[in-house]
Structures are given as C-alpha cells and as structure tokens.
Amino acid sequence: MKTIKGTGVALITPFLNDTSVDVMGLKSIVQHVINGGVDFLVPLGTTGESVTLLEEETHLVFQTVFEVNDGNLPMGCGGNDTHRVIAQMKSYDQKYAADAYLSVTPYYNKPSQEGLFTHFAKIADATHKSIILYNVPGRTGVNLLPNTVIRLATRFPNIIAIKEASGNIEQGVDILRRKPDHFSILSGDDTLVVPQLACGYEGVISVAANGKPQLFSQMVQAALSGNLKQANTIYYQLFPWMQLLFNEGNPVGIKCWMNMHNLANDTVREPLVKGSETLRGLFAELEA
C-alpha cells in the first residue's frame, strides 16, 4: 500500500428499498468521501454489512468502488473459519486489485490467544497481500491481546497494521511501545480517535467519515500534525453526533443520518432494521 495512515473510511453498502445493492448510490458515496479528503477506503467490512452479501454482490461492491477510486483500497475479508477465509482470499487475489485485507478476529467460536495467532499466521502465509488485523471484541466476543499482536507483527512482515477497536487505550499504548517499525496502529473507535492519535496511533478506519469526511479528515490531520488544539475543537464539535451514530447499532445510525441529508438510502439488511423516528429526532435536535 502507498500509505496506511490518516483517515480511512469503513464504507457503508447502500441498498435500494428492495435491499439490492445501490450501485449508483455507492458511487456517489465514494465520490463524497474522496471529495472530503480521506486517505483510503475500506469496503466490505462490518460497516458494509459484508456478512449479508452474496458472493456476486461482494464482487459488485468492490468493482464499483474500484471504478471510482483505484488506489489505497484495503478490503474486508475475515470470518470464523480459517480455511474458508484463506480460500476467500485466494479467490479475491485472482479477481480484485485490493491493496490489503482487513481481517476481523474470528467471532462466536472464541479461540484462545494461541488460536488467534494460528488463524492470522495461516492467513498471512496464504497471501502476498498486506494484512490489517481487526480487533473488535464488542462484536466478536474475543480480544486480540497485545502480546499476540506483537508476536504476529514481528513474525510476519506482511501484517502491517491493526484496526484497534477494543475501546481500551492502555491496550493500544502497549502495542505502540513494542511494535516493529513497519507496523501501524489505527483507531477503530470514532469517539476515542483524538486521544488515541495523541498517544501515537497513525490513523483511523472510521464510520463517521462516511457522513462528514471533510471535517473528520481535518480533525485527524490536525492531530497527526501535532495541532491538538485544532483537533480538539473539531473533536468536541463532532463528539455528540458520533455518539448518536451508534445508539441503535452500526451501520444503522450512519445510514439514518446520511438519509436525512440525502446522501444515502437508510435501508439495512435484516436482522438490522432502519433507524427509529426517535433516533431521527435526536439527530434533528442536535443539529437544530
């Protein structure tokens, strides 16, 4: 990859009212975030509702994004069956021009730290592409601990970063102080992003940047350049809005807000449901 720092966007996948992929809507969203100055895009992650997409829809989403933005394009590719993830990556290697894979920790089966190491070690061995680890215990039920992260990053040069979304800044700092030079740590928690960047995180893969890419990118760049006063001014402005985005789950909140601003349809795939009128009212009240 050219870079793995700054503002990355965990892209939503817009759907039409019949829940089919909204290709024109996706192109519009990609152009919206590019115009907002973001540094890289991440389609097909959890925010993109990838677990609900059929194989042909996965292809459609990535190719659509690639047509609009053909550089700095990691893509989500993870799961709780190591061999299936490897087979999927090998298939993607042949079909897609992704720069890297963002691979979430296995969910539901709750492997040990040794199991997590083995899972990612086999993935790293199976592809020539770069790997970004994704630790989000609130969704997966398992926490990729710093010792395991450092072990993986030290052993495998193509494991280049982690999206750290444990919500535990101490855990991130422990990785920062011991990581090899080639390895980056990225925030996966929008509401913690400026404190994490101040600690030494090198960027973020953001949900909120779908909606307000320009302001969010300005905040991240200010923090990375050491201008914490400017970064905090924007951060405090965005903070209550970012909290609301997750009131009814992700990507329900960001799709709801974007629909209110004519940026995307708010359709989600079941078992998710659209944002409630209560949530819409809270957004409207905040912006009044």
Q: Catalytic site residues?
A: 134, 163
**Torsion angles phi and psi, residue 162, rounded to 5:** -135, 135
Sheet holding 100-104, edge to edge: 40-42, 6-10, 203-206, 184-187, 159-164, 130-135, 100-104, 74-76
List CB contacts of 194: < 8 A, sequence separation 6 or more.
219, 223, 228, 231, 232, 235
Backbone torsions φ then ψ of 211, nearest 5 degrees: -90, -45
What are the C-alpha distances in Å from 261 to residues 76, 218, 256?
Answer: 27, 21, 9
* Residue 47 φ/ψ, nearest 5 degrees: -65, -30
Structure tokens at 60: 């459609």
